[in-house]
Structure 1
C-alpha cells in the first residue's frame, strides 16, 4: 500500500491517505519520525505496526497532558487512560513515564502530605484515606502518615480549636464535644486531641438565655410543674449546660 497524499487538518495534526482508501490521523512529529511522505510504500505488517506506534504516541501525549496540570498517582493515570486505550498500551505508557521520572507514587505521596499539612485543616487519617483511594502502597501510606503525625503539634491543634470556637453558638461543654467529633472526622486521633488546651474565657450566658427561652416557650404550652422542669433540664443538659445553672434559672422562674 502506498501513501497517496498528506493533508494538514488542524494545528500540528495531519491526515495521511493511502491508495486502498484507508487513512491515519498523524501528529507532525510522527510524520518526521516515521518518514511518512507521499509515494512511500508499506506492507500490511508495516501498516499495522505504524498504527500501533501512532496509538502509543497518542496515549503518551494524552498522559503527559493529564499529568501536566498536577501530580498524579499511577492508579489515577491508569484509570484516566483506560477510558481511551487498551490495557497493554496503558501499561506501556505508565512504564515509560515512570522511567522518565514523570510518574512517581513516592513523590506523589510526599506532595499530597505537604498539601494536607499546609493548605487544609485535615489530619493523618484523612491523608491515609485519600492516598488509599489513589492506589498508593500501604508502605508509602504508613511512612507519610507517620511523617505528618510528627508534624502536628499543640500550636496547630489549638489554632484549629480557636477557629471553630469563633463560630460556636452554645455551651462551652457542647463546644468541646463537637470539636472532638469534627477533628476525628477530619482525620485526627486521640493523642492529637490531648494537645488542645481548654482554658478559654468563653461567655456562654447569652446562648444559655436564648436556648432556655426557646425550650421554655416550646414546653410550657403543654407542660407545667415538675414535668416542665424535667423537660427543661433534659433539653438544656443535652445542649451542654450544667445542671446547677439550669436549676438556678428554673428556681428564679418559680420565685417570679
Structure 2
C-alpha cells in the first residue's frame, strides 16, 4: 500500500497482514480496508502460502474500529452504491479457502470485532479488552452482526451490542471468540505454534474443507449431508488424499503437492 497503512509480509508459509496505524489504535479507514483485502487476495494468489495471520502493529490495539477522528468521513455513504467496502471485505474473508488466524495483541472494538470474526481462529493476549461500543456514538454494529451472531451466544451478543460495554479476554474466549488466551510475552509463540499445526497438513483438504464448510452453513441437515457425501468422494480422488493414505501405510510423513 502506498500509504503504508497495512503491511503485507510473507513469513515462510504464513502471509502476515498487519494494520499499521498504531498511533490511531489501528483504526479502520479506506486504506486499511483496501490493504487487508489486497492481503487476502495476494495470499490466495501465492500457492506457497498456507495460512493468513491478521494483526495490528504495536501492543495497544488490534483494531479499535472505524477512525472517528473525522466522524463525517467514517459515517459517510455513497447511497448510489449497493455495497460497502467493509462489507465487501467480510464477504471476501468468508469466500477464502486458506485459513486465517487473528493475532490480537491489543484492544479489539467495533469494526475490529468484525475483523476478529472473519478469521477462522484467534489468539489473544490476556490483557485485551473487547467491545461493541457503537451505541455510544449513535450507531450499531450492523455488519459485524452478520458474523458475530453465528459465533457467540445470542444473549451475550445482545448484551454487548445493546449496552456497548466492554468485556475481557476470558469472557471473549468463553463466548467462543478466541481459541487461546495467553500472556503478552507468549502471544507470538502461540501464534507460531498454531501456524505450525496447519502448514504440515494437506492444503487440498483444508482448501476443499473450508469451501464445503462455507457451502453447508445455510443448508438444512438433509441438504448438507447430501452435499458432503459427494464432496468426500471428490476429495478422495485428489493427489493429497492418495499421498496421505500411502504415507500412513508406509509410516512416514506425507509429502503434500496441494493437488
Same fold flag (TM > 0.5): no
Structure showing the higher helix proportion among its residues: 1
Greater CA radius of gyration, 1 or 2?
1
Q: Which fold has the larger relative contact order, with Cα–Cα distance below 8 Å and residues 6 or more apart in sequence?
A: 2
Name the TM tier (shorter chain).
under 0.3
Structure showing the higher strand proportion among its residues: 2
Q: With the length of structure 1 as denominator, give the TM-score of the two structures.
A: 0.21
